[in-house]
């Protein structure tokens, strides 16, 4: 089947879409444990970027599982497929000239590297939301850690499934040390040069 598929050579290219929007496009990939603050920080970062007329879109782990990935559970294989699909969606957004903020636990380093390869290393900013397991369990607004500790949830990252910390993230946010505003400022400052068109 694949051998009979050919990409159509559309005349409008990524560079033109970026020029139209007057900024570059790339992925800001938020990774960290459940309850670490990924969605909260991504949401606040998007608000800040929108104020500067940056075209953005957020892809969030829970939200995506209500639609595109509602056929996937949380086995290691399904986690890999979940992130593979998101990587391809991110690539479409980058091609469209949009800054996409992707908030996913994405526990495996190899998967995050795979996304980086799909979108291109120049178009991938890894943001490690570094929050201790103890702090995540304290926050546990959804009661998920408690259920995982009781064995009511299988394959729960940090409890019964692994989380592989980024080795050299582009940005590290230690939420137990930084306020939300300071975290957003750190991210926006770090990506400022990437937003400029070459």
- Look up the CATH number of the domain holding residue 63: 3.40.50.300
Q: For residue 70, tell me if it sits in a domain.
A: yes
Contact present, 101 and 59 (Cβ < 8 Å): yes
126-143 pLDDT per residue, tens: 999 999 999 999 998 788
Q: For residue 193, tell me if it sits in a domain.
A: no
Does the pLDDT at position 161 exceed 60? yes
For β-strands 171-174 and 56-60, DSSP reports them as: unpaired
Which residues form the domain of 53? 16-186
Distance from C-alpha of 145 to C-alpha of 153, rounded to nearest angstrom: 9
Number of domains in the chain: 1
Q: For residue 83, tell me if it sits in a domain.
A: yes
In the set 106, 121, 132, 179, the catalytic residue is: 106
According to DSSP, the residues that pair with 127 across neighbouring strands are 30, 171
pTM of whole model > 0.85? yes
Does the pLDDT at position 1 exceed 60? no
Binned at pLDDT 50, 70 and 90, residue 112 comes out as very high
Q: For residue 5, tell me if it sits in a domain.
A: no
Does the pLDDT at position 144 exceed 70? yes
Does the pLDDT at position 9 exceed 90? no
For the question of residue 106 being annotated catalytic, the response is yes
Q: What is the pLDDT of residue 191?
A: 97
């Amino acid at each position: 089947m694949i051998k009979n598929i050919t990409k159509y050579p559309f005349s409008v290219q990524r560079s033109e879409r970026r020029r139209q929007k007057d900024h570059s496009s790339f992925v800001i990939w938020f990774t960290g444990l459940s309850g670490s603050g990924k969605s909260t920080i991504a949401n606040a970062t998007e608000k800040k970027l929108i104020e500067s007329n940056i075209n953005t879109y957020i892809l969030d782990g829970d939200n995506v599982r209500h639609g595109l990935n509602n056929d996937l559970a949380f086995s290691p294989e399904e986690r890999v497929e979940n992130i593979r699909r998101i990587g391809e969606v991110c690539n479409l957004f980058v091609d469209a000239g949009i800054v996409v903020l992707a908030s996913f636990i994405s526990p495996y380093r190899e998967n995050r590297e795979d996304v980086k390869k799909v979108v291109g290393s120049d178009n991938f900013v890894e943001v490690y939301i570094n929050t201790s397991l103890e702090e995540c369990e304290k926050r546990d607004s959804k009661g998920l850690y408690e259920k995982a500790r009781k064995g009511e949830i299988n394959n729960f990252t940090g409890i019964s499934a692994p989380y592989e910390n980024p080795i050299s993230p582009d940005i590290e946010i230690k939420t137990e040390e930084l306020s939300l505003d300071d975290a957003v400022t750190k991210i926006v400052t770090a990506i400022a040069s990437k937003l400029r068109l070459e």
